[in-house]
Amino acid sequence: MWQATDSNVWQGRDDSRESPEALRVFQTVRQHESWPPALGKGDIALIGFASDAGVGRNRGRIGAAEAPPVLRRALANLAHHPAAFVLHDVGDFSYADQQLENGQQELAAAVKRLQEAGARTLVLGGGHETAFAHGKGLFDAHPGRHIAIINFDPHLDLRRAPHATSGTPFAQLAALAAEQGRKFDYTCIGASRAANTAALCKDAAALNVDIVWDTDVHWLHAAEVAEKLRQKCAQADAVYLTIDLDVLSAAQMPAVSAPAALGIPLDLLLYLIRPVLASGKTIAADAVEYSPPYERDNTGARSAARLLWQICQDWR
- SS3 of 298, please? coil
Residue ranges making up the domain that contains 141: 2-314
Q: What is the mean pLDDT of residues 98-113?
A: 98
Calculate the average pLDDT of the chain.
Answer: 97
The answer to whether 150 and 121 are in contact (CB under 8 A) is: no
- Report how far apart, in Å, the C-alpha atoms of 270 and of each of 46, 198, 275, 292, 303 are: 19, 30, 10, 22, 11
Neighbouring CB atoms inside 10 A of 16's CB total 12
Q: Please tell me what DSSP assigns to residue 301.
A: H
pLDDT digits (tens, 9 = 90+) for 118-143: 999 999 999 999 999 999 999 999 99
Parallel, antiparallel, or unpaired for β 2-3 and 87-93? antiparallel
> Is the link from the previous residue into 36 a cis peptide, with omega within 30 of 0?
yes
Cα(310)–Cα(304) distance, integer angstroms? 10
Nearest-angstrom CA–CA distance, 95 and 122? 19
Q: What is the mean pLDDT of residues 13-19?
A: 94
Res 83: pLDDT: 76
- pLDDT value, residue 86: 85
The domain that contains 289 carries what CATH number?
3.40.800.10
Res 82: pLDDT: 85
Determine the pLDDT at residue 17: 93
Give the alpha-carbon dihedral of 35, 39, 41, 42, to 10 degrees: -90
pLDDT tens figures, 276-298: 999 999 999 999 999 999 999 99
DSSP string across 131-200? HHHHHHHHHHHSTT--EEEEEE-SS------SS--TT-HHHHHHHHHHHHT---EEEEEEE-GGGS-HHH
Collect all residues with Cβ–Cβ distance below 8 Å to 73 and sequence separation of at least 6: 9, 11, 301
pTM beyond 0.95, yes or no: yes
pLDDT tops 80 at residue 237: yes
Structural domains of the chain, count: 1
Q: What is the pLDDT of residues 155-193, one digit of tens each?
A: 999 999 999 999 999 999 999 999 999 999 999 999 999
